[in-house]
Copies of this chain bind each other. A is one copy, B any other.
């Protein structure tokens, strides 16, 4: 077999200490040791094999994901793993199954929204996986529009039950993972109906009609199932139950609805609606923030795949910038939560525009980057054994979760236009849009960069991005005002529709400014100086040249195992061709030389005997 030595050569070019960088990247020697130990545990266990995922028929793929989940749990129990170790184990097992919903949606929803009594009642069972929960929000006709949810939960004082009902086809719960085939419990979002009055959307815990400890059943009293194959091989098809329709009724004697008194009356909450929506987890701002924080955590992994294909360092650089935004987002999340709890809603519109916009541009750039890398691998990137098709198919829903990215950018644009229209009224723009307060300066300032090196000055870069965003916003606001002036009301909407392309561009410019400004803030805090912030073309190119010899070593420092990446093109030893060849023979079609169907459909064709064949 011909070996490929290109990566060994590449590694020699590294200009830094890879082992030291591994520790920095992992955060601490402890983290590095933990990751190493657990990732090897997974890679060496044949049950955790991942390379067959794209070939398995749906039912087998699903069954296998159930097996992996049970086996992982048994390993956690047998090896007495700590919470930290268990969490790493789930991470490296890397299977999209009901587990993800149970730990990352169901349990946090109870912890975040439940009362102390509910915590005591449900969390011990959930932590032990004696119950399996999911998160049922999205409906067939209602995705991002949470206010439009139609499912009802009607209190029946005679039985002390809350009757769940989907009155229309479009109100069927559609997409919630885990609900179709495995879950015993769900946090369901539904309109609370008491004494015939609709009190709006609330989150409630539902379980099967059967009692805990007796028969633990599926949601079979409802009409549940799976919504069918999703984009890509393997990927979310392994999580098959990912989707469900509650069409008939479902009951819960045990459901805990905090807003109902013991005698069955609606208990008006004295908490403002914004905070309620935020708390029960259906505030779009919170969802976008949550998505961004998840993305931020995932970026290390994606970066691995992306930097691997050194032709695309451009995307790699973009993601490094996002990393610093991620840290700032954690601060933003805490800040918004604290303000809402203190009845301060003043920063909410700005925070929403910011999170919706950042979610849009970060996920779009990352998805495009993955797909660009896949194409750069030519035909080989089209093979599932390269790992890239599944990576793309699993990542790309981020572009449509919490609202399609274009829809979100239009929300950002609406906020920008409103801000521009209020300039001069004395209302000062705050936070990430504060630069609009210097609109007069930004509209007339001139770029005074003379040489490429001038773009190493952070202030130069920042002002260029600010001026660009401000000018695009003012320009589209002016065009929009032509519509509103000619006729009131209806034409405003037409203006928004007709100028949507320009509005999206202005929103993107605003969001790119946020990324750049947070990056520069961080770089200046770290006293690194301006060198890392170089953006102008000439400088960027020379930075690529500096990064290039270190690219493979940098990827080594991320310290992901071949098993975790599951990509023949991304192998540590670079031994691509022999392994592509080896993988090909594993395909089900290669189980026999003469394929199923040949005798029935090909030989009679060649022999001109089709008329006697059973077609």
A interface list, Cβ under 8 A from B = 1-2, 47, 54-60, 62-64, 66-67, 69-71, 73-74, 77, 128-132, 138, 140-141, 143-144, 168-170, 172, 174-175, 180-182, 184, 216, 218, 220, 224-233, 240-241, 243, 245, 311, 314, 371, 374-376, 378-379, 381-385, 389, 396-397, 399-400, 404-406, 498-499, 501-502, 537, 541-542, 544-545, 577-578, 580-581, 583-591, 593-598, 600-608, 610-611, 613, 615
User: Apart from A180-B589, A231-B384, what 8 extra A-B contacts exist at CB < 8 Å?
Assistant: A71-B615, A74-B613, A182-B602, A225-B587, A231-B233, A232-B233, A232-B389, A241-B595
A314 to chain B, nearest CB (A): 7
User: 6 nearest interchain CB pairs?
Assistant: A57-B57, A63-B597, A231-B389, A229-B384, A70-B601, A66-B597
Q: Which residue of B lies closest to A384 (CB)?
A: B229
* Secondary structure class of chain A's binding surface, majority of residues: helix
Q: Which residue of B lies closest to A68 (CB)?
A: B601
A105 to chain B, nearest CB (A): 16
Q: Which residue of B lies closest to A597 (CB)?
A: B63
Would you call B228 and A608 a contact (CB within 8 A)? Answer: no
The residues of B that contact A374 with a CB separation of less than 8 Å are 231
Would you call A578 and B169 a contact (CB within 8 A)? Answer: yes
Would you call B389 and A375 a contact (CB within 8 A)? Answer: no
Q: Which residue of B lies closest to A595 (CB)?
A: B181
A135 to chain B, nearest CB (A): 15
Would you call A595 and B227 a contact (CB within 8 A)? Answer: no
Would you call B405 and A375 a contact (CB within 8 A)? Answer: yes
The residues of B that contact A47 with a CB separation of less than 8 Å are 615
Q: What are 29 pairs between A and B in contact, CB < 8 Å?
A: A2-B170, A55-B229, A56-B57, A57-B588, A59-B595, A63-B597, A63-B601, A66-B600, A66-B602, A70-B602, A128-B608, A129-B605, A130-B608, A175-B379, A181-B595, A182-B595, A220-B593, A225-B587, A226-B584, A226-B590, A228-B583, A229-B384, A230-B382, A230-B383, A240-B595, A375-B400, A375-B405, A379-B397, A382-B397
The residues of B that contact A140 with a CB separation of less than 8 Å are 577, 580-581
Would you call B594 and A218 a contact (CB within 8 A)? Answer: yes
Would you call A314 and B233 a contact (CB within 8 A)? Answer: no
Would you call B225 and A169 a contact (CB within 8 A)? Answer: no
A236 to chain B, nearest CB (A): 8
Q: A132-B602, A245-B584, A389-B231 are in contact. Are A59 and B379 (CB under 8 A)?
A: no
Would you call B384 and A404 a contact (CB within 8 A)? Answer: no
Would you call B58 and A406 a contact (CB within 8 A)? Answer: no
Partner of A132, one of B174, B220, B225, B606: B606
Q: How far is the CA of A230 from the CA of B587 in the complex (A)?
A: 11
Would you call A615 and B182 a contact (CB within 8 A)? Answer: no
Which of A54, A502, A604 neighbours the largest number of chain B CB atoms within 10 Å of its CB?
A54
Q: A397-B382, A577-B140, A595-B63 are in contact. Are A606 and B230 (CB under 8 A)?
A: no
The residues of B that contact A60 with a CB separation of less than 8 Å are 596
Would you call B601 and A240 a contact (CB within 8 A)? Answer: no
Q: How far is the CA of A596 from the CA of B63 in the complex (A)?
A: 6
The residues of B that contact A56 with a CB separation of less than 8 Å are 57
Partner of A404, one of B128, B130, B378, B593: B378
Q: Which residue of B lies closest to A227 (CB)?
A: B584
Would you call A400 and B383 a contact (CB within 8 A)? Answer: no
Q: How far is the CA of A405 from the CA of B374 in the complex (A)?
A: 12
